[in-house]
Every structure is written in structure tokens, then in C-alpha cells.
Structure 1
Amino acid sequence: MNVEASPLFDVATPFDLAMQERDAGALFVVNHSGGKDSQAMLIEVLRYVPAAQILVVHATLGEAEWPGALEHAQAQAEAAGCPFVVAQAVKTFFEMVEHRFKVRPGPNSPCWPSASNRQCTSDLKRGPIQREVRRYAKERGLLRIVGCMGLRAAESPRRAKASPWQLNADQSVAGRTWHEWLPIHDLSTPDVLRIVADASQELHPAYAMGNERLSCVFCIMASANDLRNGALHNPELYAKYVEIEKRTGYTMHMSRKSLEELTGVPA
């Protein structure tokens, strides 16, 4: 992480701006999926921000997420002395999919989320997290918030274009300022693994099984490798996804290939 201000025209870096918010007493909200990037991000944020100014939030996806992801995030937060909150949507992932199929069954309205319609992110993660953060901040009279996410430029061209620091205008209301910060945006995967190892922490067990990333067991953008791991280690959940694909006639993956094609694992 770059901790020095840019010498060119004294332009403040995202890190500088984050530290200004820290000194102003802002609440730093670490969004923790249970994955390696979230884990490394919390380690890094704790290097510069007191635990008393940090709230760790996990948006649970219930049975759709890797078993133990919530507990892994919670254990790291509690070990660091940070409060931990679980954000949960009023509907489940499968209820969302089934409802979309019921109300829009036509061939041009897939019931699964897609890269262009990330309803799983907006409805099941971002919305519930913001709700819990607003509640937590209101109870404590906090009017400055910095939302921290573990997105990295190396993950995709889209994420490479993401701004490491920006104002969340939608949530900056009623005297409250809310910024979004990507503390590990410029780090590589080896950097992330080194940070976790240097902190003498273990990754979620799914990585030892061979997973490259961790969130939903069957993500619409997951690699075939991760989908296969998910199928082999979560057979009942896999069968549920395959059944919905066959019943609705829609494939869940952005490749438009069925899970059985991608994994080579029969349900």
C-alpha cells in the first residue's frame, strides 16, 4: 500500500484522504466476504486505523455462500477487537431467482443475475450492508463513514478502472458524508497472500481445496475451476442449482454454458 503523499502539486492520494477521514473520527466499514482479499484488506486497514473506528460487515448469502465464510470473517474481526455485524436481505438468493422466473419467464429475461444486472450484489449485499451501517452509525451519532472494499485492479479490466476513492453521493445525506475506499486496489494476488501469511493467519479452507476466489459457491462469474470445486465439495447445493437451470431453461453462468458442462460433474 502506498502511504506517501504524491509530490506532484501536493495532490492527495486515496490513502491521504482516508487518513484525513480517520483523523476526523470517521467510521471505517470493512466489507468482509470471508475471502482472501477481504482478509488482507482488514489486516492493512488495521495498520493505520484504530480498531475502535472499524466496523466489519459480512453480507450473508445463506446457503449460496461457501460454508464457514461468515464464521471466518467474524473470527478475524473479533481477534482484532473490531465489532462485527451480519447484514442479511429479506429475501434469499434462490427466492430472488424463483421470483424473477415467475414474473418474467420470457426468453429475453433470464432469471439469474448477470454481469449487466448484478441484482445479487445490489439487493443481497450492498443494500443490506448500507442499511446496517446506517443503523450502526445513527445509534452512535457518527456522521463520517468510509466504506472499504477489497476490489483489486488485477482482477479484471472493469475493476482496474474503479476509482480507489470516491464520494458515495446517494448515502451522503442529512449531514452525513460517506466515501468509498479501495485500500488494496493496487495489490497483486501474491501481495495479498503474503499479507495474510505475514500476519500468521489462515485462509478460508476453500483455498486449500484449490479455489481461486471465494464468495458464492457458484458465482455467475466464477472460473470453471472454482465451479468444479464447489460441485465436488457441495453436492446438494450443486444439485439445486442444476435443477433450477433445467427447470427454468436458463443457465446461471455468464458463459451461457450449463453448470454440468462447465464442471464436468453430473448432478
Structure 2
Amino acid sequence: MTSIKCPALAFQGQYGLPLSEIDEEGNAIRDLIEQGALFVSNHSGGKDSQAMLIRLLEIVPAGQMVVVHASLGDMEWPGAMELAQEQADAAGLPFIVARASKTLLEMVARRFENRPEVPSWPSASTRQCTSDLKRGPIQREVRRYAKANGFKVIVNCLGLRAAESPGRAKRRTFSKMGISNSVSTWYEWLPIHKLLTPDVFRAIDADGQMPHYAYSLGNDRLSCVFCIMGSRGDLRNGAARHPELLAEYDALERHTGYTMHMSRIPLMELSS
């Protein structure tokens, strides 16, 4: 049997979960490790992904892990992919880059061309940016990796935390995904769901790592430079450091007649 640190005990100390939930989740993860499942660490380059990978390395054997980054090209903060790869390399883990066939701006322009009567940009309720640019490409690359390396069971690990939003607070920390097929069975696990933001930064610091430099600028989030749910501070940081990209977003907002941000305030105004 694989020798690992017991997830149940670690969860009890750091997460404060009810014992029944600890036992159920901890036992499920332990069983999946013993079955030889592949644990996929989704890594945006952000603080939560970074802390999650630190956590996973305490529990899952390195031979059953892979790190995957969904590249957003010029839309994402420079250095995000490099941070993810450096952390994977330092741990001796395989690193995969998943790329969509189009960028966010290309997706918005195509959507406007096909259906100009509906909002062209993603929204909190219709997040094509997540499904088309991240989740779809990641699942495609993970399937390829799993098939090539003989994995039949996949545990998709996400750094989502309850403190981020009411919607994320309601997410189950462990569940079976509805994408099973003859090749593989998928589960979803949120290893740091109960951590608060200070806990995340403490975990990174305790491991001798540094988070992405955007956080030192005051960013709350990290992925796209201009996120549909980004705070005003995040958007201002992005505008100050990437004015050319801001101009592209502004031009597309004007062309479509729709605004990017969920506040429905033009990006140029929000980021000024």
C-alpha cells in the first residue's frame, strides 16, 4: 500500500471540517491514490493554484500527478505560465500547456458576428471564457496524457475556495464528474476549499516560494489581465502595465456595443 500522509488528519487540523466529512473525503482520496489514479493539478499561476500544488505534494505521490496550465496567450498576466512551470519543475512533475484554438477577443468577435443581438462577452452566468478557453482544452490534453500513460481514473484538482464567493462556498469539495467514458472516470477535488486568503499566502511563504508579482501590486485575482469579474484595482493595475491590451479590449467593446465587465461599465472608465 502506498505510504502517504493521511488526508483525514491533515484536513482536521487545517480545514476544520466535520469529522464525518473528513472521513468520507479523506478515505475517498486515499482509495483513489491506492488505485493509481492520476491527480491533475490545474495551475493558473495564481496564489490558490500555487498553494494547492503545495498541498497536493504532501498527499499524492509525484508519479501520480501532472500539472496543467490553460494558456490564455496575451490575455493572461505575463509570468503566470512560467510560475506554474517552475513550481512543477521544482517538484519533478510533468507540465502540460493546454491551448484553445482562439483567444478571448477572437471568441467575442466571432460571437458578435454570429449573434449581434445578444451580449458578446462572457458573463458570470455564461462563462464561455472558462468552458471554451480553459476547461475544454484542459480536458482534451489530460485525456491524451492519461491515455498515453495508462491512467484510467482522473482526479481533477481545482484551487477554488469557499471564501471567494457564495457560489464557490456551496461547491462540494469532492464529487464524481459527469464526463466518464470508456477511457476514463473523472472526479473533482477542491483540496484548499476551506482556506482563507491569509492561509494561502502563509502556505506559499512557508514552502519558500513567492507568489506572482501581480499580488505585490495589489491584485486580488490572477489569470486574465482584464477579467470580467476583476476588481477595480485589478483592472487599473492591468491598464497601467498593459495599455496596448487595454486598447484592444476598448476597441472591441466599441465595435460590439457591449461591455466586458459584469458591472456593465466600459473598461476604459473602470480602469482609469
Deviation at 1:209, TM superposition (A): 1.4
Deviation at 1:175, TM superposition (A): 5.5
Residues 1:11 and 1:250: Cα distance change in structure 2 (over 3 Å): closer
Report how many aligned residue pairs link the two structures: 260
Aligned to 2:83: 72
Deviation at 1:12, TM superposition (A): 3.1
Equivalent of residue 264 in structure 2, options 246, 252, 256: 256
Equivalent of residue 52 in structure 1, options 63, 66, 86: 63
Contact residue 6 and residue 13 of structure 1 kept, 8 A: no
Aligned partner of residue 39 in structure 2, secondary structure? strand
Deviation at 1:13, TM superposition (A): 3.1
Contact residue 14 and residue 181 of structure 1 kept, 8 A: no
Find the aligned partners of 1:11 and 1:150 in 2 and give their Cα distance. Answer: 18
Structure 1: gaps (5+ residues): none
Cα RMSD over matched residues? 1.5
Percent identity of the aligned residues? 59
Code of the aligned partner of 1:207: Y
Larger displacement relative to structure 2 (12-21 or 186-195): 12-21
Structure 2: gaps (5+ residues): 1-9
Aligned to 1:29: 40
Code of the aligned partner of 2:227: C
Find the aligned partners of 1:127 and 1:53 in 2 and give their Cα distance. Answer: 22
Code of the aligned partner of 2:107: M
Code of the aligned partner of 1:120: C
Deviation at 1:19, TM superposition (A): 1.9
Aligned partner of residue 23 in structure 2, secondary structure? coil
Aligned partner of residue 12 in structure 1, secondary structure? helix
Aligned to 2:74: 63
Deviations 1:168-213, CA, capped at 9 Å, x for gaps:
122x111622100000000000110000000010111111111111
Aligned to 1:240: 248
TM-score normalised by L of structure 1: 0.94
Deviations 1:7-56, CA, capped at 9 Å, x for gaps:
55x97332331121111111000000000000000000000111111100
Code of the aligned partner of 2:87: Q
TM-score normalised by L of structure 2: 0.92
